[in-house]
Amino acid sequence: MLNPAVPGFHPDPSVCRVGDDYWLACSTFEYFPGLPIFHSTDAEHWEPVGHVVTRPGQLAIEHVPTGGGAWAPTIRYHDGLFYVTVADAMGRGGLIFTATDPRGPWSDGTVMVGADGIDHDIAWDADGTCYVTYSGLILTGDEVSKHLGIQQVRMDPETGRALSDPISLWSGTGKMFPEAPHLYEVDGTWYLMIAEGGTERGHSVSIARGPSPEGPFEGHPANPIHTHRSTDHPVQNSGHADLVATDDDWVMVSLGTRPRGATRAFAPMGRETYQTRVRWVDGWPVVEPFALTEGLPTVTVHTDLAGPLGPEWLTVRDADRTWLRHEDGAMVLTADPQAPPVAMDAPRPRFVGRRQQHERARISAVLEPGRGTGGLSVRYDEDHHYDVERAGDVILARVRLDQVEHLWSAPAPAGPVELWIDAVPTEGGFSSEGMSCDIVRLGFTTGNDDEVEVAAMDGRYLTSDTCASFTGRVWGPYAASGEVAFRSIDYRGNDER
C-alpha cells in the first residue's frame, strides 16, 4: 500500500467507511484549522476535503500549552450522522462533534461530562447503546498525570453526559501508557484494540476480544499484533492504530515516524499516517508488514497569494486571523505590536505555515520591500524555530533553540527578495553531520538568480525527538513588525534518499 498514506505531521489517524467512501481524521494539537478530514474510495489514496474545526470556539486552543489542543480523534458513522470524538487537551475537554457530511460544516462540539481522559472512542451496540471508551489520563487537578488505564462509560451522545460510572477495561500487556482504544464488533465478537508502550520508540498495537462492548476481554496471546520497536524498519514509533473493513480485506492505519541519521535518531516531520492490510486468522487480526513507497514523484506546489489560502495553511492558537488580508495581488500580514523581540517566540505568532511533508524539502516566498520586517520560518514550537528575515537593508538568519539565539546577516538586495529555507538530508555515517537527519539552509535569491546562503544549521534540533513535541515541522511566512507583503510561496519536496 502507498506509504506514507498522509505525509507530514498527521498523527493519531482514525478511519471509518460509509458505503463506498472512506473517511480519515488526524490530530492537530495547537494548530488551526483543526482535525483534517481525508476522503478515499479505495482505502489507500487519500484526498484532503475539509476540517472539523473551522471557526473560533470549537476548540479552546488560544491559551493551551505547546502540545495541547486537539488530541486523537475517532471518526465514526451512526444512524445518519458522522461523529468525531476528541480531547481538547487543557482546553474544553472531551468533545463530540457531529455532521451530516464529513466535509463539513461540523457542530460546535458537545462537552462530554463523566468521561475524563484522552483518546475517546465512540461505538454503538445492536440495541443502539452508545459507549465511549477512553484512556484514563488525568490532565487537570490534584491528580494530574495519573493514569487509570482504559476506561469506559455509556454515553448520551446528544447531551454529552455519561449514563454510567466509568468501568475499567483490559489495558494491555503491562506496557506504559495504554491509550488509543477502539471498539469493533466483528461477526458477533467485540474487539478492543489499544496502543501501549508510549508514542515513542516503544509504541505498539495490542488487541483483546470479548462477548460484549464491556468485556470481559481476553488479550491476544501473541500481543503486540503490530510494532516496529527494536527493528531496522525505516518507519519507527508505529502505533495508535484504527481498523476498517474493505470489500476484500481490512486495512489498518497507524502513526509512525521516519527517523534519519546514522543511529536513526531524529524525525523532522514528526508523526505521520501509515497504512497496511490486515487479514483475520482464527478470530484474530494479522497485520501485514508495510514498507515505504519508493519512487514517488517530486511534489511542487505554487501558492498564489492574491486570494484566500487553502486549508493546508495553519495558524498557531489563532482561529480569527484578523491580521491577515489579501490586497493588490499579495498576502499582507500585520505584526503584533505586543509581540516579543523575536516574533516567532510568541505563543500566537503572526505566522501561517504548511507542513513539511518530504525528507528533502524547500520553501520560498517573494517578500515585498519597505512595508515592515518579516520573513520565513520553519517552526516546531515557540522555543525551537529557524528564521530567515528581511529587516531593512539586511537579511538575517536566526536560530532559536530554547534560551539560545544566534544570528547571521548579509546585505539585502534592492526591490522584492525571494527568501528560502532548504532541508537537505544527510548521507548518514559516523560523523557529526552524519548523525543528524538533515541540514537546514537559510538564504535568499538575488535579482540575478544567484542564491546566497546566509546560514546552515543542523536539523536535529527541529525534530520531534529533540523538541519532545507531538507535532512536526511547519514552514511559512511571518510578520515581525509593521505590515509585510508576500507575493507568492513555492514548496518543493521529494523523498529521494
> In 10 A of CB 427, how many CB atoms?
10
First CA to last CA across the chain, in angstroms?
A: 20
Q: Over 90: is that where the pLDDT of 370 sits?
A: no
Quick one: which of 88, 3, 86, 104 has its CA closest to 48? 104
Q: Which fold has domain 299-494?
A: Jelly Rolls (2.60.120)
For the chain, the structural domain boundaries read 14-287, 299-494
- Classified as helix, coil or strand, 369 is coil
**Residue 210 contacts by C-beta under 8 Å, 6 or more apart in sequence?**
170, 189, 190, 192, 216, 217, 218
Burial 376-403 (b: 16+ CB within 10 A, else e): bbbbbbbebbbbbbbeeeebbbbbbbee
Decide which of 1.20.1260.10, 3.40.50.300, 2.115.10.20, 3.40.190.10 is the CATH code for 14-287.
Answer: 2.115.10.20
Counting Cα atoms < 13 Å in the Cβ hemisphere of 358 gives: 23
Give CA 459 to chain center in angstroms. Answer: 19
User: How many Cα atoms occupy the beta-carbon half-sphere of 57 within 13 Å?
Assistant: 6
> How does the average pLDDT of the chain come out, rounded?
96
pLDDT in tens, 209-242: 999 999 999 999 999 999 999 999 999 999 999 9
| Active-site annotation holds for 179 | yes
* CA-based nearest residue to 18, from 39, 46, 47: 39
Report DSSP state, residue 434: T
Sign of CA dihedral 166, 172, 174, 176: negative
Per-residue confidence at 128, pLDDT binned at 50, 70, 90? Answer: very high
Residues 262-289: tens digit of each pLDDT = 999 999 999 999 999 999 999 999 999 8
**Which residue of the set 12, 121, 272, 495 is catalytic?**
12
Taking only the tens place, the pLDDT of each residue in 34-54 is: 999 999 999 999 999 999 999
Contact between 195 and 240 under an 8 Å Cβ cutoff? The reply is: yes
pLDDT at 497 over 60: no
Is residue 12 annotated as a catalytic residue, yes or no?
A: yes
Short-list 8, 31, 146, CA closest to 91: 31
Q: Please pick, among 88, 116, 119, 179, the residue that the annotation labels catalytic.
A: 179
Cα–chain-centroid distance for residue 487? 28
- pLDDT tens-place string over residues 68-101: 999 999 999 999 999 999 999 999 999 999 999 9
pTM: 0.96
Q: Can you tell me the mean pLDDT for 114-131?
A: 97
The single-letter DSSP state of residue 311 is: T
